[in-house]
Amino acid sequence: MYLFLDIFGYLSVVLRGLTLIAQSFTLGGLAFQMLLWGPLQPKLSVGGLVIEERCRTLLRFSAFAWALLTIASLALDAAALVGTLQLPWSEAVSADFGRADLVIAACALGLAVLVNGPAHRVRSAALLALSLLALAMQTRLTHAASRPDLRWPLLLSDAGHMLGASVWIGGLPYFLIALNGCKAADDWRLIARRYSLMSMAAVAAIVAGGLVMAINYIGSIDAIYGTAYGVMTLAKVGLLLMLLTLGAGNYFLVERLRRDPSTPILRLKRFAEVEIGIGLTVLLAAASLTSLPPGVDLAHDRLNWQEIVERAIPQSLPRLTSPDYDKLTVAQLQAKITLADAGRASAQAAYIPGEGTILPRNAEDIAWSEYNHHWAGVFVVLIGLLALIEHFRWGRWARHWPLLFLGMAAFLFFRADEQAWPLGPAGFFESFRDPEVAQHRIFVLLIAVFGLFEWRVRLRGSNAGPAALVFPLTTALGGALLLTHSHAIANIKDQLLIEMSHTPLALCGVAAGWARWLELRLDGRVHRVAAWIWPVAFVLVGLILLDYREA
Amino acid sequence: MRAFFQFAIFLSAIWLLAHSNASLAHAIILSSAPSAGATVSGDAVAIRLHFNSRIDHARSKLTLLAPDGTSQTLTPAADAPVDELNAEATRLSSGAWRLRWQVLSVDGHITRGDIPFTVH
């Protein structure tokens, strides 16, 4: 039970993120079918049977996944209640969230079954009714449902926000299937134009719903940068801006396609691929945001602007000399922490079950962690710089930069877990009993394999094939995961300040991954620009790591 | 190369599963009686926890940890406002007590925490 409780919080966020993705692909697929494919099909030059079948398969799979993930989420939450309150299962499942989950799962299953048949008015009405019911129940699992005051404007905003995300982000895979299935420029033009209009309406719903929620849940300017909720909202806005930039590029291409049917649409498809990737990141960030208390409720221990600026401005050179393992060496820093802690007792702490107690950190711990981050920053800056140098004719030698990942992996292996072998008393195998050490070891293995892998891709050049896509996908995944990682529930200032540096890291990771994707998947000007963007993003990640401080 | 590609994807999936630090909770205390670190006098204390969310009272719990390490479960008042968890604690001896709360907000999030206080 304790092991389960230890991973409960993380599993909940992951399940919530996957559920939102499955929900978006289901509702987006239905919107695509009802608003685009159905009305347009008589005007298209292709019969579209293959396209229809592929879309239906994806839709069916998404709806089944939505049902299964919802049941898994219900089982997880109910198990936590049964385990901590010793309730009977029936009582745990019959809570408000349990009833909502059961209705959602039933609706999703109904959708999965109903999408199989041919288009029919009664069938369409049933699909619409099930979708709206599931969406309404989904709002029962959001902040809006638990607000003590007026709830209906927030419930409506949340529903509009999720529906907009579904139509736009969730509709993208179906849009790509349709573009790939059609061969005539007139068909592309009709499909792209209609999807563009749907997306604009969806963006309006996302922004309108988002604004209402931001006003109610954040409430003031200082809560935007002073609370974890505000910072995560900013990250979502940053991702939305990336999506809008790509969407604007596609809009202008569609307009050009209207004037000139010979316009190539490869860029449209590639941008749509990247939009799917960033869109999934937004949904993961949304799942993470759902788990945070609204900023407006956190009146104590908010960060102020001066504290953020003080933390962001480098105070000294990077810490490239390791602190002594055996004894405390930074007494002044310790005094500063003690002084700061003394003034921060006002906020009440809140934990999820099994989260454990956050151990106090002394100056040596902090110096140790900063040293690790700064050296990691050195590695990442070098990787970015060498990737930039590789662009020049005289810099071909720099293409071996992935080998630096091996150096970084070795460094992290020795330094990340000071309590474990070879530095600490815990033996190599014994240390795997600590889940955090096990995670770090897997992470180190991943970095090493990833470095070797990308090195091989570099040596093979344009013959690397789909293997070359592992690097951008893994980088973008890393960025997305950073957005779902730990948050300070009761807004402990130190944790929030650390998170302040993680959010730009995540955004840079996402930008780097998808820029590299575009470099690989496109030619021409976008290819050239993207080839410069991702190494610069890597350098920025390295610089943020070099500026990392915990006190 | 294909096997290597699949291996990398597999490792990415492990990384996804192994990266466990996230938390899921958003019912937090806006005010409480007694407040954290407070000193109360007498052997009875009216407990009132005011949250930022609607609370499922039937699936929430209050436990008192006595100075000698024993614990007693308190029964939350059924008629409390939707965002409050209230109870009466009686026969409290002098010393350092700890009120452990766990709540389920109506949107399905579980949160818990401790409020230390001293009985004088």
Least CA distance to B62: which residue of chain A? A85
Q: Which residues contact A68 (CB under 8 A, 6 or more apart)?
A: none
pLDDT computed for residue A290 by the predictor? 84
Question: B25, A143: Cβ pair inside 8 Å?
Answer: no
How far is CA A447 from its chain centroid? 20
* CB < 8 Å to A158, chain B: none
List, in sequence order, every residue forming a beta bridge with B51; answer none if it has no partner: B29
Average pLDDT over every residue of A228-241: 92
pLDDT computed for residue A363 by the predictor? 73
Alpha helix (H) residue ranges in A32-95 = 38-40, 49-85, 89-93
- Closest Cβ–Cβ partner in A81, A84, A352 for B23: A352
Average pLDDT over every residue of A128-151: 91
pLDDT computed for residue B9 by the predictor? 46
CA of A43, closest CA in chain B: separation in Å? 41
Label residue B88 left, alpha or beta by phi (over 0 means left) and psi (-120 to 50 means alpha): beta
Listed residue (A24, A19, A15) closest to A65, CA to CA: A19
Q: Is residue B44 part of a domain?
A: yes
Average pLDDT over every residue of B39-66: 92
pLDDT band at B88 (very low <50, low <70, confident <90, very high): very high
Least CA distance to B107: which residue of chain A? A141
CA distances from A459 to A294, A358, A401, A463 (A): 49, 46, 11, 9
Chain segment A413-451, per-residue pLDDT in tens: 888 777 777 777 777 777 776 666 776 787 788 788 888
Contact A401, A387 (CB under 8 A): yes
Question: A473, B23: Cβ pair inside 8 Å?
Answer: no
* CB < 8 Å to A155, chain B: none
CA distances from A517 to A180, A228, A271, A272, A278 (A): 19, 30, 10, 12, 12
Q: Which residues contact A31 (CB under 8 A, 6 or more apart)?
A: A166, A167, A170, A171, A198
pLDDT computed for residue A125 by the predictor? 93
Cα separation, A69 vs A15, whole angstroms: 7
CA of B33, closest CA in chain A: separation in Å? 12
Question: B36, A345: Cβ pair inside 8 Å?
Answer: yes
Contact A426, A440 (CB under 8 A): no
- Closest Cβ–Cβ partner in A355, A438, A449 for B8: A449
pLDDT computed for residue A6 by the predictor? 54
Contact A234, A285 (CB under 8 A): no
Cα four-point dihedral sign A191, A472, A512, B11: positive
Whether the predicted pLDDT of A353 surpasses 70: no
- Closest Cβ–Cβ partner in A81, A293, A467 for B28: A293
* CB < 8 Å to B31, chain A: none
Chain segment A182-234, per-residue pLDDT in tens: 888 889 999 999 999 999 999 999 999 999 999 999 989 999 988 889 999 99
Instruction: Give B105's DSSP letter.
Output: B
SS3 A261: coil
Question: A449, B19: Cβ pair inside 8 Å?
Answer: no
Average pLDDT over every residue of A466-484: 84
pLDDT band at A486 (very low <50, low <70, confident <90, very high): low
Question: A145, B54: Cβ pair inside 8 Å?
Answer: yes
Residue from A73, A346, A352 to probe the interface with B (highest B Cβ count within 10 Å): A352
Residue from B23, B47, B61, B102 to probe the interface with A (highest A Cβ count within 10 Å): B23
Q: Is residue B12 part of a domain?
A: no
pLDDT computed for residue A456 by the predictor? 87
Question: A470, B8: Cβ pair inside 8 Å?
Answer: yes
Cα separation, B68 vs B65, whole angstroms: 8
Tell how many helices (H) and how many strands (E) occur in chain B: 1, 8
Q: What is the dihedral of CA A153, A155, A156, A159, to 10 degrees?
A: 160
CA of B70, closest CA in chain A: separation in Å? 18
A409: tokens are 């992996």
- Burial of residue A208, with CB atoms counted within 10 A of its CB: 0-12 exposed, 13-18 middle, 19 or more buried: middle
Q: How do B110-119 and B71-74 pair as beta strands?
A: unpaired
Q: Is residue B1 part of a domain?
A: no
Cα separation, A474 vs A87, whole angstroms: 42
Number of domains in chain B: 1
Whether the predicted pLDDT of A341 surpasses 80: no
- Closest Cβ–Cβ partner in A291, A297, A442 for B25: A291
Average pLDDT over every residue of A100-119: 92
- Closest Cβ–Cβ partner in B18, B21, B26 for A143: B26
pLDDT computed for residue A237 by the predictor? 95
Cβ-based contacts under 8 A for chains A and B: 191
| pLDDT > 70: percent of chain A | 89
pLDDT computed for residue B22 by the predictor? 34
Q: Is residue B8 part of a domain?
A: no
pLDDT computed for residue B14 by the predictor? 41
Contact A454, A386 (CB under 8 A): no
pLDDT computed for residue A349 by the predictor? 53
Q: Mean of the per-residue pLDDT values for chain A?
A: 85
CA of B64, closest CA in chain A: separation in Å? 15
- Closest Cβ–Cβ partner in B8, B25, B104 for A95: B104
SS3 B48: strand
Contact A28, A36 (CB under 8 A): no
Residue from A8, A146, A155, A489 to probe the interface with B (highest B Cβ count within 10 Å): A146
Output the domain CATH number for residue B71.
2.60.40.1220
* CB < 8 Å to A85, chain B: 59, 61, 102
pLDDT computed for residue A335 by the predictor? 55
pLDDT band at B10 (very low <50, low <70, confident <90, very high): very low
Cα separation, A372 vs A390, whole angstroms: 27
* CB < 8 Å to A145, chain B: 54, 106-107
Question: A87, B59: Cβ pair inside 8 Å?
Answer: yes
pLDDT computed for residue B44 by the predictor? 87
Listed residue (A521, A551, A550, A549) closest to A534, CA to CA: A521
Chain segment A66-87, per-residue pLDDT in tens: 999 999 999 999 999 998 888 8
Q: Is residue B20 part of a domain?
A: no
What residue numbers bound the domain in which B90 lies? 31-119
Average pLDDT over every residue of A507-518: 94
Chain segment A156-183, per-residue pLDDT in tens: 999 999 999 999 999 999 999 999 998 8
Q: In the block, which residue shows the tokens 């990247």?
A: A274
Whether the predicted pLDDT of B8 surpasses 50: no
pLDDT computed for residue A2 by the predictor? 52
Question: B20, A490: Cβ pair inside 8 Å?
Answer: no
Whether the predicted pLDDT of B11 surpasses 50: no
pLDDT band at A549 (very low <50, low <70, confident <90, very high): confident
Question: A435, B20: Cβ pair inside 8 Å?
Answer: yes
- Interface pTM, i.e. ipTM: 0.80
A343: tokens are 């003034």
User: Based on C-alpha coordinates, what's the Rg of chain B?
Assistant: 21
pLDDT computed for residue B84 by the predictor? 94
Average pLDDT over every residue of A460-470: 80
A79: tokens are 């198990």
Contact A356, A505 (CB under 8 A): no
* CB < 8 Å to A343, chain B: none
Q: Is residue B63 part of a domain?
A: yes
pLDDT band at B25 (very low <50, low <70, confident <90, very high): very low
Chain segment A39-58, per-residue pLDDT in tens: 998 888 877 788 999 999 99
Average pLDDT over every residue of A131-139: 95
Q: How do B45-51 and B29-33 pair as beta strands?
A: antiparallel
Least CA distance to B60: which residue of chain A? A85
pLDDT computed for residue A71 by the predictor? 97
Q: In the block, which residue shows the tokens 């910072």?
A: A231
Question: B56, A467: Cβ pair inside 8 Å?
Answer: no
